[in-house]
A and B are shown apart, each in its own frame.
Chain A
Amino acid sequence: MYRKFLRLTKSLTVSFEKLVNFVTTQEHNPLYFHGALPLYTFWFLIFSGILLWMYYIPTLDRAWSSVNYISALPTPGDPINLAAGIPYGAVVRGIHRWGAAAMMIVTLLHMFRVYFTDRHRAWRWLPWVTGVGLLVFVLFVGLSGYLLVWDARAYYIVVATQHLFDGVPVIGAALSSFLVGGEGITDYTLTRFLFFHVGGAVAIFFLVWMHFIRLKEPVVTPSRATNFLLLGFILLAAGTLPAINITHELLAKYGHDPRIAAQAAYIASDAPAQIGTLVETIRYDAWYMFPYWLIQNVGTTWTWLILGGSTLLLCVAPFYPKDRRANIAEVVEAKCTGCTFCSLDCPFEAITMVDRAPGSKFKQIAVVQAARCSECGICVGACPFQAIELPELHSKTLEADLLALVKKGA
């Protein structure tokens, strides 16, 4: 059943990608750069994030206004923002904000692509499981980003998260005060949120490194055409919909001013947070705030069960269904010269070169780590000495098949 499902998803994915190949050719199909896309998007977030960080003030009374200062469209004489703001600050913030949405989209695309084409199982468990970690951290970093704005929505998220933590047995209260950095919300709370946001991004880098440990030469840059396409999308979104803090209240008060009214569509954040006052309706960001949608609609217990259960399912996914693994590459000791070709070409880092006993004819020998081997035979293609073989498809068999076919044709 499950195998059939995987076959069907693969078939559909390949058909869809074949259509894209018509337009882009194989070499530029963005879907073939599914792993590189999140990494590429992440660079946008890092660089725009650093620019925002230069002006951000992590205190309760200045955070919102510092974000708004960054992002105010430079409209001289504006009654609301006397300071003109940072030139193009709204665009930089837009890159960071819409880039964050893009990050989640391309990460999910990558994940589903890997899953649908059956590239997540067996020897690939490590990239998959670290990938689940990456997904969790992308979510965490995105959410902590929304806290930094310190608007009414950010305050709501803090309260809802504390509520969620309070439901945890034994350590609930400790988690809750860990979140805000003490008994209540203080300036330290925002310093902590900034740490979560930046520290989480650093953790993503670390996880990406782990993600790549068993992948030889991971494809980390999309094709140039794909690069320009994604760059174009993000810049277009940031340029046409700059993220600024025009609030509903400001709109109600100054909405008659055509300059303000013209920006009504750009609402990106709410009014400054007021501790103790919860907004009644919160605007959910589809990519990052679904946990809060869950909290509000199904309650904290179900939220824990749904989030925890789906993470657990994702973590065990690579181990089912189990395949018969009988064709793992084997080295013929007498023939191996230690030339390293096989270990250079193995796509899953399954071959290590090990020193031979002193006095041996050759210095090193190739050793296959069975659990990492994909049974692909690329090492067989790489070895000039027929010293590494797939047990169920020996080079000799391959050659015999070949000669038989030539003979039949002649």
Chain B
Amino acid sequence: MSDPKRTVIGFVCERSLPVERMLDEHKTLLDDPDTKFVVVPCSGMVKPTLLEAALANGADATFVCGCAIGDCHYRTGNLMIRERLEGKRNPKLRKTTDRRKVGMFFVTMKDRVAFLEALAAFKAGLDAPPAQED
């Protein structure tokens, strides 16, 4: 593929993807060396400021990956981070943050392939023109 080299940082709930089987010792995704994971106990632990920090420090994109909606091991963590990133719950993602660069995935521990596909689509979307805000 002729994709440019990028740095994508994901905050991944250890109960959603089988992270230990997907990463090398540098926390880099085996199937996609552009992508690196910070592993958290629950996607609900991720503050929007962490995503903003990733972008501010040079990441080309960042995302959160949590359990399937309806199946958070801690009941509500994935709903919380989704609402925070959508700006419906405090603390919210800053309005000025480029939404195209912030991804959200909600998958079960058996959805490794589906996740990789969604990640590829997310990365492809980074080249799209900015969405018209109204």
Contacts of A355 in B (CB 8 A): none
Q: A378-B42, A405-B27 given. 16 additional CB < 8 A pairs?
A: A11-B110, A26-B70, A27-B70, A32-B69, A117-B73, A381-B47, A382-B91, A384-B90, A398-B50, A402-B9, A402-B50, A405-B37, A407-B57, A409-B6, A409-B9, A409-B59
Tell me whether A75 is interfacial, beta carbon within 8 Å. no
Tell me whether A119 is interfacial, beta carbon within 8 Å. yes
Please give me the residue from chain A that is nearest to B106 by CB atom: A26
- Contact status of A21 and B41, CB under 8 A, knowing A374-B74, A378-B80, A381-B46: no
Interface of chain B, main secondary structure: loop
Tell me whether A186 is interfacial, beta carbon within 8 Å. no
Contacts of A29 in B (CB 8 A): 68, 70
Cα(A347)–Cα(B41), bound, Å = 14
Interface residues on A, range: 35 or more
Please give me the residue from chain A that is nearest to B76 by CB atom: A347
Interface centre among A21, A327, A409 (most CB of B within 10 A): A409
Cα(A11)–Cα(B70), bound, Å = 17
Q: Which residues of A contact B (CB under 8 A)?
A: 11, 14-15, 17-18, 21, 26-27, 29, 32-33, 117, 119, 215-217, 327, 341, 345, 347-348, 374-378, 380-382, 384, 390, 393, 395, 398-399, 401-403, 405-410
Contacts of B40 in A (CB 8 A): 377, 393, 398
Contacts of B126 in A (CB 8 A): none
B42 CB to closest chain A CB, in angstroms? Answer: 4
B76 CB to closest chain A CB, in angstroms? Answer: 5
Residues A401 and B45 in contact, CB atoms below 8 Å apart: no
- A-B contacts at CB below 8 angstroms, number: 132
A-B contact pairs, 27 of them (CB 8 A): A11-B110, A14-B71, A14-B110, A18-B111, A26-B71, A26-B106, A27-B70, A29-B68, A29-B70, A32-B68, A216-B75, A216-B76, A217-B76, A341-B90, A345-B80, A376-B44, A376-B73, A378-B74, A381-B77, A381-B84, A398-B38, A399-B53, A402-B9, A402-B57, A409-B9, A409-B34, A409-B58
Residues B90 and A14 in contact, CB atoms below 8 Å apart: no
Interface of chain A, main secondary structure: helix
Interface residues on B, range: 35 or more
Residues B108 and A14 in contact, CB atoms below 8 Å apart: yes
Please give me the residue from chain A that is nearest to B44 by CB atom: A378
Tell me whether B119 is interfacial, beta carbon within 8 Å. no
Tell me whether B102 is interfacial, beta carbon within 8 Å. no
Digitize B23-43: 1 where CB-to-A-CB distance is under 8 Å, 0 elsewhere: 000111000001011101110
B92 CB to closest chain A CB, in angstroms? Answer: 10
Residues B74 and A376 in contact, CB atoms below 8 Å apart: yes
Residues B70 and A376 in contact, CB atoms below 8 Å apart: no
Which 9 A-B pairs have CB atoms at the shortest separation, nearest pair first? A32-B70, A409-B7, A377-B45, A378-B44, A376-B74, A347-B75, A405-B36, A376-B42, A26-B69
Tell me whether B19 is interfacial, beta carbon within 8 Å. no
Interface centre among A393, A395, A405, A410 (most CB of B within 10 A): A405
Residues B108 and A377 in contact, CB atoms below 8 Å apart: no
